[in-house]
Amino acid sequence: MIDARPAVEQVQAAFTQAITEVCAVHGVPMLRVKKQDLPTVAHFLHTNPGLRGSLSLLWAVDHRPREARYELCYLFTLAERKDWLLLATDLHGDEREFPSITPHLHAAKWYEREIRDLFGLVPIGHPDLRRLVRHEHWPKGSHPLKRDFPWDRVLGRVQGEYAFRKIHGEGVFEVPVGPIHAGIIEPGHFRFSVAGEPIMQLEVRHFWKHRGVEKLFEQQQLTEAVPLSERVSGDTSVGHSLAYCQAVEMLQGVEVSPRARYLRTLFLELERLHNHIGDVGAICNDTAYALAHAHCGRMKEQLMQLNDRLTGSRFLRGVNCVGGVALDLSGLQLAQVEVELNALEQDFSDIEKIVFANASLTERLENTGILTEGIAWDHAVIGVVGRASGIDRDLRRDRPFAAYDVLQPRVALYRYGDVRARMRVRLDEIHESIRLIREVRRGLPLGRLVSRPMHQPQPGAWALSAVEGWRGEILYVVMAGDAGRIHRCKVRDPSFVNWPAIQWAALGNIVPDFPLINKSFNLSYAGNDL
């Protein structure tokens, strides 16, 4: 891990009077900042050439009943160092207002709106205070993540209307799509403003299936919430459960065995593999290239059947547990995995050659849905989408977890930012996942599967965990409560970060190209909505 002290000292030197405390939480340096100075310090972190901090997470905690205060935490990833730096501030007693940093950092926009909806804390100076999570039928004053809000409270329905942004002018038309779609797609509303064919504006309106996941976590014991984490986003069961388990393991001082870490890596790469192959086929399908779609669908099904034979779940549920993994793989099973993946890789490589020999497909993908590196940086875009736009970040390399410190994955990186670049990232990662699984088989050590906790955390102790899922960075903040329960669990799926950016990628394209652009992002509605 890179030493973060120089960055801390740089911020301290610039803001001596603004910083009231310097400490570290599980190796993450934290600076407690006076509330009124937050925007200035955040702006400095974001723009200073030696830091270039990208906002990775913003969350709030209601500390009642132990303390009469709210806490706001701002996690930055430093661009060059790939290290974390955390800012924190407090709202005491009846304070409910805090200064917005959105005018300085675009990436804070949804986070601050979410905090207003769920906690009733108001970001003063925010340019858009419309509701985000709480749709207009929610009664006024209902803020479900306040500690005194019952988890099973049934809310009445009120009347209300969302005020969409409007572009006025001759020949400007609105094209509303969703939230209910043909097929089995999840609910999401897209409102296009067009003049002729080009898209002038796209507004995304989501959060139609809010399930109160973070509130449900507060009803769980630390060691019993793994099944809930697996269901945050059903196609990312391994990624979410691993991020949750790692946070609890830090709280309990668990040292996961090398064998368990290797097996976690294998299952995470299997999850990446079947999702990426499915996405490549779906992108081809949205260009009406049915042949490639059919073959990718066949290969994805082969992988999901392999998942089922290995774990009893096509979506790899029940694999992770706090302390390690819940099941083992024999040498025979691992050999069979490699045999199947070798055959699949050859099969997939043949499809790749056909795909890239198709000039009409290339024409549809190139220069479609361009997300520039500058816009991607401003919105802190991550994962596949970020790496296709020149954002050189991958937690497997930058903050190794599981067995990635030994396996050392190669990171796919492109700078074009179009649909083709996003597909190329997936293609490269498919081959890299197969290579990593081979390495896991060769290096898998002997040892136990589950390690016991060293201690139980004190109420108020918290830990931050990060996993590079197949879409991108998954972050979990878990805070311990009384009697082994969860006081707060903040979940951030990469989709929450990347959905706002798709509004920029669509500009200048035509509406019929949007399904292709949307599929190349392939973001989760459930993971976003929680």
Q: Which residues pair with 485 in a beta bridge?
A: 221
Sequence-separated (6 or more) residues with CB below 8 Å from residue 258:
403, 445, 447
Q: How far apart are CA 423 and CA 414, in angstroms?
A: 10
Q: Tell me how far CA of residue 513 lies from CA of 178, 180, 203, 288, 518, in angstroms.
A: 16, 19, 16, 12, 9
pLDDT of 1 reads 46
d(CA 55, CA 243): 19
How many CB atoms are located within 10 Å of the residue 168 CB? 6
Q: What is the pLDDT of residue 340?
A: 97
Which 3 state secondary structure label does DSSP give 315?
coil
Complete domains list, the chain, with CATH = 5-124 (3.30.460.80), 213-529 (1.10.645.10)
Contacts of 87 (CB under 8 A, 6+ apart): 30, 31, 32, 33, 38, 41, 42, 45, 73, 74, 76
Q: What is the DSSP string of 28-52?
A: EEEEEE-GGGHHHHHHHHHH-TTT-
Q: Which of 217, 238, 268 is nearest to 478 (CA)?
A: 217
pLDDT for residue 3? 55
pLDDT given at position 4 = 64
CA distance 257 to 449: 7
What is the structure's pLDDT at 50?
86
pLDDT at 294: 96
What are the backbone dihedrals phi and psi of residue 272, each rounded to the nearest 5 degrees, phi first? -60, -40
Point out the residues of the chain with pLDDT beneath 70: 1-4
Per-residue pLDDT at 150:
92
pLDDT of residue 447: 94
